[in-house]
């Protein structure tokens, strides 16, 4: 049985990463968090005071960025490294979340990230989540999933996640951030968030992560049987 590429796109805080990790583990595939790549780039830009409105500065900065994923035997998960520094937890800060959609909308940055993502998927056997994976990065992927959920549910999920790291964050801040990211992601000029024509939608508003995984595994196995 051969390998396939599985893409999982969708709105912020829909559980894309959770499903992608579980699915990759169940299939013995490599999980690649494309959103983490944009967050790592955002972290670099903020740390180094890069003016992302200046194309020359952006291009120069990208030459100094190296991103890779390394498997952590303790956590049993792939973690992202920025220039050999583990930034898996640093990139989850609300400060990064407030800027990542804006930075990820920049043409030069998307081209940089997409090229790396396509290289990572050259041998297939991967699960990658993001916002344009099934439409731009891997338009010929064998299985495309598009995830959605009610905004109130997404806000609550994100709030619980953020509060564990920053007890001072308010649910109003989280809601405003999600709404802003939704707008930027779906209205940007370069590779906007949209459901691919051949993507299968999963609305997980009222289903738990185990049922969600079972559904995705069923979809994946059907594709694998056709190879």
| Annotated domain spans of the chain | 5-206
Q: With beta carbons less than 8 A apart as the criterion, state whether 151 and 178 touch.
A: yes
Architecture (CATH level 2) of domain 5-206: 3-Layer(aba) Sandwich (3.40)
Query: Three-state SS string across 137-201, please?
Result: HCCCCCEEEEEECCHHHHHHHHHHHHHHHCCCCCHHHHHHHHHHHHHHHHHCCCCCCCCCCCCEE
Check residue 76 and give its pLDDT.
76
Check residue 112 and give its pLDDT.
96
pLDDT tens across 206-225, in order?
999 999 999 999 999 999 99
Q: Indicate the SS3 state at residue 43.
A: helix
Q: Among positive and negative, which fits the CA dihedral 41, 46, 52, 58?
A: negative
Work out the pLDDT band at 191, boundaries 50, 70, 90: confident
Check residue 226 and give its pLDDT.
86
Prediction pTM value: 0.83
pLDDT tens across 96-113, in order?
989 998 999 899 999 999
pLDDT tens across 66-75, in order?
998 888 888 8
CA distances to 53, 128, 198, 200 from 146, rounded to whole Å, are 31, 12, 10, 6
pLDDT tens across 119-153, in order?
989 889 999 999 999 999 999 999 999 999 999 99
Environment class of residue 125 by beta-carbon count within 10 Å: exposed (0-12), middle (13-18) or buried (19+)?
middle
Q: What tokens does 26 get?
A: 């169940």
Q: With beta carbons less than 8 A apart as the criterion, state whether 149 and 15 touch.
A: yes
d(CA 156, CA 135): 28
Percent helix, strand, coil in the chain, to 5, is 50, 15, 30
Check residue 94 and give its pLDDT.
85
Q: Indicate the SS3 state at residue 221.
A: helix
Check residue 167 and give its pLDDT.
84
């Amino acid at each position: 049985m051969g390998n396939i590429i599985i893409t999982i796109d969708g709105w912020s805080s829909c559980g894309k990463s959770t499903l992608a990790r579980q699915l990759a583990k169940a299939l013995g595939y490599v999980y690649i968090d494309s959103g983490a790549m944009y967050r790592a780039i955002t972290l670099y830009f903020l740390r180094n005071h890069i003016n992302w409105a200046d194309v020359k500065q952006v291009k120069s900065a990208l030459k100094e960025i190296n991103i890779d994923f390394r498997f952590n035997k303790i956590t049993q998960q792939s973690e992202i490294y920025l220039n050999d520094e583990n930034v898996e937890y640093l990139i989850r800060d609300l400060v990064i979340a407030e800027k990542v959609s804006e930075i990820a909308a920049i043409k030069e940055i998307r081209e940089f990230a997409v090229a790396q993502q396509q290289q990572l998927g050259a041998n297939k056997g991967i699960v990658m989540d993001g916002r344009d994976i099934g439409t731009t990065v891997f338009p010929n992927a064998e299985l495309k999933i598009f995830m959605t959920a009610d905004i109130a549910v997404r806000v609550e999920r994100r709030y619980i996640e953020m509060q564990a790291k920053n007890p001072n964050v308010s649910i109003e801040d989280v809601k405003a951030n999600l709404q802003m990211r939704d707008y930027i992601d779906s209205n940007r000029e370069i590779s906007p968030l949209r459901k691919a024509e051949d993507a299968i939608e999963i609305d997980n508003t009222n289903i738990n992560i185990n049922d969600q995984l079972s559904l995705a595994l069923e979809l994946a196995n059907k594709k694998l049987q056709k190879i």
